[in-house]
Protein backbone atom coordinates (compact mmCIF):
# COMPACT_ATOMS: atom_id res chain seq x y z
CA UNK A 1 0.00 0.00 0.00
CA UNK A 2 1.41 3.38 -0.97
CA UNK A 3 1.18 6.44 1.24
CA UNK A 4 -1.22 7.98 -1.27
CA UNK A 5 -3.47 4.93 -1.18
CA UNK A 6 -3.47 4.98 2.60
CA UNK A 7 -4.45 8.65 2.80
CA UNK A 8 -7.09 8.12 0.13
CA UNK A 9 -8.63 5.26 2.09
CA UNK A 10 -8.05 6.26 5.68
CA UNK A 11 -7.43 10.02 5.59
CA UNK A 12 -11.09 11.02 6.07
CA UNK A 13 -11.48 8.62 9.01
CA UNK A 14 -8.32 9.98 10.61
CA UNK A 15 -9.57 13.54 10.26
CA UNK A 16 -12.92 12.62 11.80
CA UNK A 17 -11.09 10.92 14.67
CA UNK A 18 -8.97 14.05 15.11
CA UNK A 19 -12.14 16.19 15.24
CA UNK A 20 -13.39 14.14 18.15
CA UNK A 21 -10.06 14.11 19.96
CA UNK A 22 -9.43 17.83 19.59
CA UNK A 23 -12.95 19.21 19.51
CA UNK A 24 -11.77 21.79 17.04
CA UNK A 25 -12.02 21.64 13.25
CA UNK A 26 -8.91 23.67 12.50
CA UNK A 27 -6.70 21.96 15.00
CA UNK A 28 -8.00 18.58 13.83
CA UNK A 29 -6.89 19.32 10.30
CA UNK A 30 -3.54 20.63 11.47
CA UNK A 31 -3.03 17.60 13.69
CA UNK A 32 -3.96 15.16 10.93
CA UNK A 33 -1.67 16.84 8.44
CA UNK A 34 1.17 16.84 10.93
CA UNK A 35 0.75 13.17 11.78
CA UNK A 36 0.45 12.17 8.13
CA UNK A 37 3.55 14.24 7.36
CA UNK A 38 5.48 12.25 9.94
CA UNK A 39 4.01 9.05 8.62
CA UNK A 40 5.10 10.09 5.11
CA UNK A 41 8.72 10.33 6.25
CA UNK A 42 8.64 6.87 7.84
CA UNK A 43 6.15 5.26 5.49
CA UNK A 44 8.33 2.33 4.42
CA UNK A 45 8.72 1.34 8.06
CA UNK A 46 5.09 1.93 8.95
CA UNK A 47 3.69 -0.01 6.06
CA UNK A 48 5.72 -3.04 7.13
CA UNK A 49 4.06 -2.97 10.56
CA UNK A 50 1.48 -5.57 11.35
CA UNK A 51 -1.34 -3.04 11.46
CA UNK A 52 -0.23 0.28 9.98
CA UNK A 53 -3.53 1.95 10.77
CA UNK A 54 -3.18 1.19 14.47
CA UNK A 55 0.28 2.72 14.37
CA UNK A 56 -0.91 5.90 12.67
CA UNK A 57 -3.89 6.25 14.99
CA UNK A 58 -1.52 5.90 17.93
CA UNK A 59 0.55 8.73 16.45
CA UNK A 60 -2.60 10.82 16.23
CA UNK A 61 -3.66 10.18 19.82
CA UNK A 62 -0.16 10.91 21.12
CA UNK A 63 0.20 14.02 19.01
CA UNK A 64 -3.10 15.33 20.31
CA UNK A 65 -1.97 14.79 23.87
CA UNK A 66 1.22 16.71 23.34
CA UNK A 67 0.49 19.50 20.88
CA UNK A 68 0.18 22.15 23.55
CA UNK A 69 3.21 20.98 25.44
CA UNK A 70 5.52 21.28 22.46
CA UNK A 71 4.45 24.89 22.19
CA UNK A 72 5.54 25.69 25.74
CA UNK A 73 1.97 26.25 26.74
CA UNK A 74 1.99 24.61 30.14
CA UNK A 75 1.58 28.12 31.42
CA UNK A 76 -1.94 28.36 30.08
CA UNK A 77 -4.40 27.98 32.89
CA UNK A 78 -7.24 27.16 30.53
CA UNK A 79 -8.99 25.15 33.21
CA UNK A 80 -10.15 28.39 34.69
CA UNK A 81 -12.32 29.00 31.67
CA UNK A 82 -14.81 26.18 31.69
CA UNK A 83 -16.79 26.25 28.48
CA UNK A 84 -20.49 26.22 28.80
CA UNK A 85 -22.99 24.92 26.35
CA UNK A 86 -25.07 27.61 24.79
CA UNK A 87 -28.37 25.95 25.30
CA UNK A 88 -30.69 28.86 25.06
CA UNK A 89 -31.31 28.43 21.39
CA UNK A 90 -31.36 24.66 21.43
CA UNK A 91 -33.98 22.22 22.47
CA UNK A 92 -34.67 18.52 22.73
CA UNK A 93 -32.15 16.11 21.27
CA UNK A 94 -29.85 18.80 19.93
CA UNK A 95 -29.51 20.31 23.39
CA UNK A 96 -28.95 16.87 24.86
CA UNK A 97 -26.16 16.11 22.38
CA UNK A 98 -24.66 19.51 22.95
CA UNK A 99 -24.56 18.89 26.68
CA UNK A 100 -23.14 15.39 26.15
CA UNK A 101 -20.43 16.79 23.87
CA UNK A 102 -19.49 19.37 26.47
CA UNK A 103 -19.12 16.62 29.04
CA UNK A 104 -17.06 14.42 26.70
CA UNK A 105 -14.75 17.31 25.85
CA UNK A 106 -14.19 17.97 29.51
CA UNK A 107 -12.94 14.43 30.13
CA UNK A 108 -9.21 13.84 30.57
CA UNK A 109 -7.44 13.10 27.27
CA UNK A 110 -7.07 9.36 27.76
CA UNK A 111 -10.65 8.84 28.89
CA UNK A 112 -11.98 10.82 25.96
CA UNK A 113 -9.75 8.88 23.57
CA UNK A 114 -11.08 5.58 24.93
CA UNK A 115 -14.69 6.69 24.46
CA UNK A 116 -14.04 7.93 20.94
CA UNK A 117 -12.23 4.76 19.91
CA UNK A 118 -14.85 2.55 21.51
CA UNK A 119 -18.07 4.32 20.56
CA UNK A 120 -17.16 6.05 17.32
CA UNK A 121 -14.48 3.81 15.86
CA UNK A 122 -16.21 0.75 17.34
CA UNK A 123 -12.91 -0.88 18.28
CA UNK A 124 -12.46 -3.65 20.81
CA UNK A 125 -10.49 -3.05 24.00
CA UNK A 126 -7.45 -4.98 22.76
CA UNK A 127 -7.10 -2.72 19.71
CA UNK A 128 -7.72 0.40 21.77
CA UNK A 129 -5.00 -0.78 24.14
CA UNK A 130 -2.62 -1.13 21.20
CA UNK A 131 -3.40 2.38 20.02
CA UNK A 132 -3.03 3.90 23.47
CA UNK A 133 0.02 1.78 24.25
CA UNK A 134 -1.44 0.45 27.47
CA UNK A 135 -3.12 -2.70 28.74
CA UNK A 136 -6.76 -3.65 28.06
CA UNK A 137 -7.32 -3.40 31.81
CA UNK A 138 -6.23 0.24 31.70
CA UNK A 139 -8.58 0.83 28.78
CA UNK A 140 -11.47 -0.59 30.78
CA UNK A 141 -10.49 1.54 33.77
CA UNK A 142 -10.49 4.69 31.64
CA UNK A 143 -13.83 3.71 30.13
CA UNK A 144 -15.37 2.98 33.51
CA UNK A 145 -14.26 6.31 34.95
CA UNK A 146 -15.46 8.21 31.90
CA UNK A 147 -18.85 6.51 31.91
CA UNK A 148 -19.26 7.03 35.64
CA UNK A 149 -18.47 10.70 35.18
CA UNK A 150 -20.98 11.04 32.34
CA UNK A 151 -23.69 9.14 34.22
CA UNK A 152 -23.30 11.34 37.26
CA UNK A 153 -23.60 14.49 35.24
CA UNK A 154 -26.25 13.67 32.71
CA UNK A 155 -28.61 11.83 34.96
CA UNK A 156 -28.35 8.40 33.33
CA UNK A 157 -29.20 5.39 35.50
CA UNK A 158 -26.23 4.01 37.39
CA UNK A 159 -27.06 0.41 36.57
CA UNK A 160 -27.14 -0.38 32.92
CA UNK A 161 -25.52 -2.61 30.41
CA UNK A 162 -22.66 -0.39 29.27
CA UNK A 163 -19.40 -2.20 28.84
CA UNK A 164 -17.20 -1.39 31.84
CA UNK B 1 -26.78 -0.82 23.94
CA UNK B 2 -27.97 1.41 26.76
CA UNK B 3 -29.43 4.84 26.54
CA UNK B 4 -26.13 6.34 27.63
CA UNK B 5 -24.25 4.34 25.00
CA UNK B 6 -26.65 5.58 22.34
CA UNK B 7 -26.32 9.17 23.46
CA UNK B 8 -22.53 8.96 23.37
CA UNK B 9 -22.52 7.32 19.96
CA UNK B 10 -24.96 9.77 18.38
CA UNK B 11 -23.12 12.73 19.88
CA UNK B 12 -19.77 11.55 18.53
CA UNK B 13 -21.22 10.80 15.10
CA UNK B 14 -22.71 14.23 14.89
CA UNK B 15 -19.50 15.95 15.96
CA UNK B 16 -17.33 13.96 13.57
CA UNK B 17 -19.36 15.04 10.56
CA UNK B 18 -18.15 17.66 8.16
CA UNK B 19 -16.73 18.15 4.74
CA UNK B 20 -13.39 16.47 4.04
CA UNK B 21 -11.16 17.25 1.11
CA UNK B 22 -8.95 14.17 0.86
CA UNK B 23 -6.86 15.56 -1.97
CA UNK B 24 -6.06 18.66 0.04
CA UNK B 25 -5.18 16.51 3.04
CA UNK B 26 -2.82 14.40 0.93
CA UNK B 27 -1.24 17.45 -0.69
CA UNK B 28 -0.63 19.15 2.64
CA UNK B 29 0.68 15.98 4.30
CA UNK B 30 3.12 15.33 1.48
CA UNK B 31 4.33 18.92 1.45
CA UNK B 32 4.90 18.92 5.21
CA UNK B 33 6.47 15.48 5.05
CA UNK B 34 8.83 16.63 2.33
CA UNK B 35 9.89 19.65 4.41
CA UNK B 36 10.39 17.37 7.39
CA UNK B 37 12.61 15.09 5.28
CA UNK B 38 14.70 18.05 4.17
CA UNK B 39 15.16 19.19 7.76
CA UNK B 40 16.19 15.69 8.81
CA UNK B 41 18.73 15.51 6.01
CA UNK B 42 20.08 18.94 6.92
CA UNK B 43 20.40 17.85 10.54
CA UNK B 44 22.14 14.66 9.48
CA UNK B 45 24.52 16.74 7.35
CA UNK B 46 25.34 18.94 10.33
CA UNK B 47 26.01 15.89 12.46
CA UNK B 48 28.32 14.47 9.81
CA UNK B 49 30.15 17.78 9.61
CA UNK B 50 30.59 17.73 13.36
CA UNK B 51 31.90 14.18 13.20
CA UNK B 52 34.39 15.39 10.58
CA UNK B 53 35.53 18.23 12.80
CA UNK B 54 35.90 15.97 15.81
CA UNK B 55 37.82 13.49 13.69
CA UNK B 56 40.12 16.27 12.52
CA UNK B 57 40.79 17.34 16.10
CA UNK B 58 41.58 13.78 17.02
CA UNK B 59 43.98 13.30 14.13
CA UNK B 60 45.85 16.59 14.35
CA UNK B 61 47.20 16.51 17.75
CA UNK B 62 44.96 16.53 20.80
CA UNK B 63 46.69 14.02 22.93
CA UNK B 64 44.27 12.76 25.54
CA UNK B 65 47.12 11.19 27.41
CA UNK B 66 48.44 14.68 27.90
CA UNK B 67 45.16 15.94 29.32
CA UNK B 68 44.74 13.95 32.49
CA UNK B 69 41.27 14.12 33.89
CA UNK B 70 39.76 15.92 30.90
CA UNK B 71 36.79 14.35 29.32
CA UNK B 72 36.59 13.91 25.55
CA UNK B 73 33.69 16.32 25.15
CA UNK B 74 35.64 19.05 26.90
CA UNK B 75 38.61 18.44 24.64
CA UNK B 76 36.48 19.16 21.56
CA UNK B 77 35.41 22.64 22.67
CA UNK B 78 38.63 24.40 23.54
CA UNK B 79 37.76 27.96 22.58
CA UNK B 80 34.48 28.62 24.38
CA UNK B 81 33.73 27.48 27.89
CA UNK B 82 30.61 25.34 28.21
CA UNK B 83 27.56 27.23 29.36
CA UNK B 84 26.88 26.83 33.06
CA UNK B 85 24.13 28.69 34.89
CA UNK B 86 25.79 30.84 37.57
CA UNK B 87 25.47 30.11 41.24
CA UNK B 88 22.54 31.84 42.95
CA UNK B 89 24.37 33.09 46.00
CA UNK B 90 22.39 33.05 49.18
CA UNK B 91 19.64 30.86 47.75
CA UNK B 92 19.32 27.38 49.22
CA UNK B 93 19.13 24.28 47.06
CA UNK B 94 16.31 21.77 47.01
CA UNK B 95 18.02 19.77 49.75
CA UNK B 96 17.64 22.65 52.17
CA UNK B 97 14.33 24.12 50.92
CA UNK B 98 12.33 21.56 48.94
CA UNK B 99 9.31 23.85 49.24
CA UNK B 100 10.94 26.36 46.87
CA UNK B 101 11.20 23.99 43.90
CA UNK B 102 9.34 25.38 40.89
CA UNK B 103 8.37 28.63 42.58
CA UNK B 104 10.80 31.12 41.07
CA UNK B 105 11.42 31.46 37.33
CA UNK B 106 14.86 32.89 38.06
CA UNK B 107 16.23 30.03 40.13
CA UNK B 108 17.05 26.38 39.56
CA UNK B 109 17.15 24.63 42.90
CA UNK B 110 19.43 21.89 41.65
CA UNK B 111 22.64 21.80 39.66
CA UNK B 112 25.21 19.48 38.08
CA UNK B 113 28.67 18.37 38.94
CA UNK B 114 30.32 19.98 35.93
CA UNK B 115 33.43 17.83 36.26
CA UNK B 116 31.19 14.99 35.09
CA UNK B 117 28.33 16.55 33.22
CA UNK B 118 27.60 19.22 30.65
CA UNK B 119 24.48 21.39 30.65
CA UNK B 120 22.48 21.28 27.41
CA UNK B 121 19.30 23.04 28.49
CA UNK B 122 17.67 24.41 31.61
CA UNK B 123 14.05 25.27 31.99
CA UNK B 124 11.85 26.59 34.78
CA UNK B 125 8.10 26.80 34.51
CA UNK B 126 6.41 28.39 37.48
CA UNK B 127 2.86 27.68 36.30
CA UNK B 128 3.72 23.99 35.98
CA UNK B 129 5.94 24.18 39.09
CA UNK B 130 8.62 22.18 37.34
CA UNK B 131 12.36 22.69 36.97
CA UNK B 132 14.22 20.76 34.28
CA UNK B 133 17.79 20.23 33.18
CA UNK B 134 18.89 18.42 30.03
CA UNK B 135 22.49 17.34 30.17
CA UNK B 136 25.01 14.74 29.13
CA UNK B 137 27.58 12.88 31.17
CA UNK B 138 30.94 12.21 29.59
CA UNK B 139 29.56 12.66 26.10
CA UNK B 140 26.83 10.06 26.54
CA UNK B 141 23.35 10.54 25.17
CA UNK B 142 21.34 13.29 26.84
CA UNK B 143 19.32 12.81 29.97
CA UNK B 144 16.47 15.04 31.07
CA UNK B 145 15.78 15.49 34.76
CA UNK B 146 12.49 17.10 35.75
CA UNK B 147 11.83 18.07 39.35
CA UNK B 148 8.61 19.15 40.98
CA UNK B 149 6.82 19.21 44.30
CA UNK B 150 4.02 17.25 42.65
CA UNK B 151 4.33 13.67 41.41
CA UNK B 152 1.11 14.09 39.49
CA UNK B 153 2.46 17.11 37.67
CA UNK B 154 5.45 15.13 36.44
CA UNK B 155 3.36 12.15 35.41
CA UNK B 156 0.97 14.39 33.49
CA UNK B 157 3.83 16.01 31.59
CA UNK B 158 4.95 12.96 29.65
CA UNK B 159 8.19 13.19 27.71
CA UNK B 160 9.01 14.03 24.13
CA UNK B 161 9.85 10.81 22.38
CA UNK B 162 11.47 10.17 19.01
CA UNK B 163 9.84 11.77 16.00
CA UNK B 164 8.15 14.36 18.21
CA UNK B 165 5.96 11.67 19.72
CA UNK B 166 4.73 12.22 23.21
CA UNK B 167 5.22 9.39 25.63
CA UNK B 168 3.39 9.18 28.89
CA UNK B 169 5.56 7.73 31.63
CA UNK B 170 3.61 7.07 34.81
CA UNK B 171 6.13 6.56 37.58
CA UNK B 172 5.77 5.48 41.18
CA UNK B 173 8.75 7.59 42.32
CA UNK B 174 10.02 4.71 44.39
CA UNK B 175 13.48 4.61 42.81
CA UNK B 176 12.46 2.06 40.19
CA UNK B 177 13.56 2.20 36.57
CA UNK B 178 11.20 1.34 33.75
CA UNK B 179 11.45 1.20 29.96
CA UNK B 180 10.22 4.12 27.86
CA UNK B 181 8.51 3.60 24.52
CA UNK B 182 9.94 1.16 22.06
CA UNK B 183 13.33 2.77 21.55
CA UNK B 184 15.26 1.34 24.45
CA UNK B 185 14.74 4.38 26.62
CA UNK B 186 14.60 4.38 30.39
CA UNK B 187 12.89 6.43 33.07
CA UNK B 188 13.61 6.59 36.75
CA UNK B 189 11.40 8.25 39.31
CA UNK B 190 12.47 8.91 42.85
CA UNK B 191 12.16 11.28 45.77
CA UNK B 192 15.52 12.87 46.56
CA UNK B 193 13.89 14.44 49.63
CA UNK B 194 10.46 14.29 51.16
CA UNK B 195 8.17 16.56 49.16
CA UNK B 196 10.34 16.63 46.04
CA UNK B 197 9.80 14.30 43.09
CA UNK B 198 12.40 13.77 40.40
CA UNK B 199 12.28 12.01 37.08
CA UNK B 200 15.27 11.16 34.90
CA UNK B 201 14.59 10.02 31.35
CA UNK B 202 16.74 9.03 28.43
CA UNK B 203 15.43 7.88 25.07
CA UNK B 204 18.33 5.54 24.44
CA UNK B 205 20.75 4.17 26.97
CA UNK B 206 21.34 1.68 29.69
CA UNK B 207 20.76 1.67 33.38
CA UNK B 208 24.40 2.35 34.19
CA UNK B 209 24.31 5.52 32.08
CA UNK B 210 21.12 6.63 33.80
CA UNK B 211 22.68 6.02 37.21
CA UNK B 212 25.77 8.01 36.22
CA UNK B 213 23.53 10.89 35.19
CA UNK B 214 21.62 10.83 38.46
CA UNK B 215 24.93 10.75 40.34
CA UNK B 216 25.95 13.98 38.60
CA UNK B 217 23.04 15.91 40.12
CA UNK B 218 23.68 18.29 43.00
CA UNK B 219 20.81 19.26 45.27
CA UNK B 220 22.48 21.58 47.72
CA UNK B 221 23.29 24.39 45.34
CA UNK B 222 20.91 26.76 43.52
CA UNK B 223 21.69 28.28 40.15
CA UNK B 224 20.30 31.30 38.33
CA UNK B 225 18.33 30.71 35.17
CA UNK B 226 20.86 32.47 33.00
CA UNK B 227 19.88 33.38 29.46
CA UNK B 228 21.41 35.72 26.89
CA UNK B 229 18.31 37.87 27.21
CA UNK B 230 17.32 40.26 29.95
CA UNK B 231 14.13 42.23 30.27
CA UNK B 232 14.47 45.52 32.08
CA UNK B 233 10.84 46.53 31.63
CA UNK B 234 7.69 44.50 32.03
CA UNK B 235 4.11 45.43 31.17
CA UNK B 236 1.92 46.49 34.06
CA UNK B 237 1.02 43.66 36.47
CA UNK B 238 3.11 41.15 34.49
CA UNK B 239 5.74 38.84 35.90
CA UNK B 240 8.29 36.41 34.48
CA UNK B 241 6.84 32.94 34.96
CA UNK B 242 9.14 30.87 32.79
CA UNK B 243 12.77 30.81 31.75
CA UNK B 244 14.40 28.46 29.30
CA UNK B 245 17.81 28.36 27.64
CA UNK B 246 19.06 25.74 25.21
CA UNK B 247 22.84 25.86 25.11
CA UNK B 248 23.47 22.54 23.39
CA UNK B 249 24.79 24.26 20.24
CA UNK B 250 26.97 26.91 21.93
CA UNK B 251 28.96 28.70 20.53
CA UNK B 252 27.24 28.33 17.15
CA UNK B 253 23.70 28.74 18.33
CA UNK B 254 21.57 29.37 21.36
CA UNK B 255 17.89 29.77 22.01
CA UNK B 256 16.25 31.34 25.01
CA UNK B 257 12.65 31.94 25.93
CA UNK B 258 11.17 33.95 28.75
CA UNK B 259 7.49 33.53 29.53
CA UNK B 260 5.60 36.51 30.86
CA UNK B 261 2.33 35.99 32.68
CA UNK B 262 -0.46 38.22 33.84
CA UNK B 263 -3.48 37.15 35.80
CA UNK B 264 -4.86 33.68 35.41
CA UNK B 265 -4.23 33.02 31.77
CA UNK B 266 -2.53 35.76 29.75
CA UNK B 267 0.89 34.75 28.53
CA UNK B 268 3.49 36.27 26.27
CA UNK B 269 6.64 34.55 25.06
CA UNK B 270 9.85 36.41 24.29
CA UNK B 271 12.14 34.23 22.20
CA UNK B 272 15.70 34.79 21.19
CA UNK B 273 17.14 32.57 18.49
CA UNK B 274 20.79 33.09 17.73
CA UNK B 275 22.64 31.27 14.98
CA UNK B 276 26.17 32.09 13.89
CA UNK B 277 25.19 31.07 10.37
CA UNK B 278 22.11 33.26 10.09
CA UNK B 279 22.89 35.52 7.15
CA UNK B 280 21.30 38.68 5.78
CA UNK B 281 18.94 41.08 7.41
CA UNK B 282 15.27 41.87 7.10
CA UNK B 283 14.14 45.18 5.74
CA UNK B 284 10.40 44.71 5.99
CA UNK B 285 9.99 46.72 9.14
CA UNK B 286 6.60 48.31 9.63
CA UNK B 287 7.10 49.68 13.15
CA UNK B 288 9.77 51.16 15.33
CA UNK B 289 10.38 50.16 18.93
CA UNK B 290 12.29 52.76 20.85
CA UNK B 291 13.66 54.04 17.53
CA UNK B 292 14.68 50.58 16.33
CA UNK B 293 13.21 48.86 13.26
CA UNK B 294 10.66 46.19 14.02
CA UNK B 295 8.13 44.06 12.21
CA UNK B 296 4.61 43.51 13.44
CA UNK B 297 2.87 40.36 12.28
CA UNK B 298 -0.61 41.39 13.24
CA UNK B 299 -2.19 38.11 12.21
CA UNK B 300 0.08 36.02 14.43
CA UNK B 301 0.35 38.57 17.20
CA UNK B 302 4.14 38.81 16.96
CA UNK B 303 6.52 41.73 17.16
CA UNK B 304 10.14 41.22 16.11
CA UNK B 305 13.14 43.50 16.44
CA UNK B 306 15.03 43.54 13.15
CA UNK B 307 18.40 45.07 13.96
CA UNK B 308 20.06 42.21 15.82
CA UNK B 309 22.74 40.51 13.73
CA UNK B 310 22.42 36.75 13.31
CA UNK B 311 19.46 36.57 15.66
CA UNK B 312 15.71 36.82 15.91
CA UNK B 313 14.12 38.42 18.94
CA UNK B 314 10.37 37.97 18.89
CA UNK B 315 7.63 38.82 21.36
CA UNK B 316 4.62 36.58 20.85
CA UNK B 317 1.86 38.60 22.46
CA UNK B 318 -1.21 37.24 20.70
CA UNK B 319 -2.90 33.90 21.18
CA UNK B 320 -0.06 31.62 20.10
CA UNK B 321 -1.93 28.86 18.29
CA UNK B 322 -3.51 29.77 14.97
CA UNK B 323 -6.56 27.73 14.20
CA UNK B 324 -7.36 27.06 17.84
CA UNK B 325 -9.91 29.20 19.55
CA UNK B 326 -8.70 30.74 22.81
CA UNK B 327 -10.73 29.86 25.87
CA UNK B 328 -13.60 32.13 26.69
CA UNK B 329 -12.48 35.13 28.64
CA UNK B 330 -8.88 34.88 27.46
CA UNK B 331 -7.25 38.31 27.44
CA UNK B 332 -4.18 38.65 25.24
CA UNK B 333 -1.28 40.89 25.88
CA UNK B 334 -1.18 43.77 23.40
CA UNK B 335 1.22 45.19 20.86
CA UNK B 336 1.95 47.99 23.34
CA UNK B 337 2.90 45.36 25.95
CA UNK B 338 5.23 43.73 23.44
CA UNK B 339 6.80 47.10 22.64
CA UNK B 340 7.39 47.71 26.34
CA UNK B 341 9.13 44.37 26.65
CA UNK B 342 11.29 44.64 23.55
CA UNK B 343 12.28 48.23 24.32
CA UNK B 344 13.73 46.98 27.57
CA UNK B 345 15.33 43.81 26.20
CA UNK B 346 19.10 43.65 26.71
CA UNK B 347 21.38 41.24 24.89
CA UNK B 348 25.09 40.56 25.45
CA UNK B 349 27.65 41.58 22.86
CA UNK B 350 28.54 38.02 21.95
CA UNK B 351 25.53 35.78 22.06
CA UNK B 352 27.62 32.69 21.41
CA UNK B 353 29.82 33.25 24.46
CA UNK B 354 28.07 32.36 27.72
CA UNK B 355 30.82 34.04 29.76
CA UNK B 356 29.58 37.40 28.43
CA UNK B 357 25.94 36.87 29.37
CA UNK B 358 26.24 38.17 32.91
State residue A163's pLDDT score: 59
Please tell me if residue A150 touches chain B, with a CB cutoff of 8 Å: yes
Query: Would you place residue A156 in the very low, low, confident or very high pLDDT band (cuts 50, 70, 90)?
Result: low
Query: Would you place residue B27 in the very low, low, confident or very high pLDDT band (cuts 50, 70, 90)?
Result: confident
Count of CB pairs separated by less than 8 Å, A with B: 190
Mean pLDDT to the nearest integer, B232-260: 92
H or E element, residue B152: helix B151-157
Residue of chain B nearest A143, judged by CA positions: B5
Mean pLDDT to the nearest integer, B140-157: 89
Cα–Cα distance list, B210 to A84, B111, B156, B334 (Å): 46, 16, 22, 45
Per residue in B64-89, pLDDT (tens digit) is 222 223 333 333 344 577 899 999 99
Chain B residues near residue A8 by CB distance under 8 angstroms? 22, 26
H or E element, residue A62: helix A52-70
pLDDT at A159 over 60: no
Per residue in B191-203, pLDDT (tens digit) is 999 999 999 998 8
Record: contact A62-B242, CB cut-off 8 A: no
Provide, rounded to the nearest whole percent, the portion of chain B with pLDDT above 70: 83
Chain A residues near residue B131 by CB distance under 8 angstroms? none
Query: What mean pLDDT value characterizes chain A?
Result: 78
State residue A72's pLDDT score: 44
Q: Is B319 or B45 the better-scoring residue by pLDDT?
A: B319
Q: Considering only the beta carbons, identify the residue of A20, A38, A76 that sits closest to B265.
A: A76
State residue B59's pLDDT score: 33
Cα–Cα distance list, B219 to B16, B94, B101, B112, B265 (Å): 50, 5, 11, 8, 32
Query: What mean pLDDT value characterizes chain B?
Result: 82
Check: CB of residue A119 under 8 Å from CB of residue B14: no
Per residue in A46-79, pLDDT (tens digit) is 888 778 888 899 999 888 876 655 444 333 323 2
Mean pLDDT to the nearest integer, B101-125: 94
Residue of B3, B6, B9, B25 to mutate for A, most A C-beta atoms under 10 A = B25
What is the DSSP-derived secondary structure letter of residue B61?
T
User: ipTM score here?
Assistant: 0.81
Query: Would you place residue B278 in the very low, low, confident or very high pLDDT band (cuts 50, 70, 90)?
Result: confident
State residue B79's pLDDT score: 58
B350 to chain A nearest CA, in Å?
26
Amino acid sequence: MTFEEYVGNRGPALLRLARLLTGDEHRAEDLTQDVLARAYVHWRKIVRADRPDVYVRRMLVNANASWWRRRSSQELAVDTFAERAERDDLSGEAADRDEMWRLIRALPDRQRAVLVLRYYEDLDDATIAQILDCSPVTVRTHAMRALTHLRERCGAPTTNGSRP
Amino acid sequence: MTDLDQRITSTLRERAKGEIDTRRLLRAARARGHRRQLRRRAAAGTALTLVGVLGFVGVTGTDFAGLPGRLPWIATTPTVAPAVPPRADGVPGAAQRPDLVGTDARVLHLSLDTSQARYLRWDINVYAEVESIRFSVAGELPVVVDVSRSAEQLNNMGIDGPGSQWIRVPLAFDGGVQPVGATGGLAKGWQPFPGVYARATMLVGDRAALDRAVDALRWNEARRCEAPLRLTTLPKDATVVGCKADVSAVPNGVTAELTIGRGESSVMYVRLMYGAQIAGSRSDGNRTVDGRPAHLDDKRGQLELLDIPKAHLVAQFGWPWPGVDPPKGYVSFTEADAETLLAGARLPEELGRPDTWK
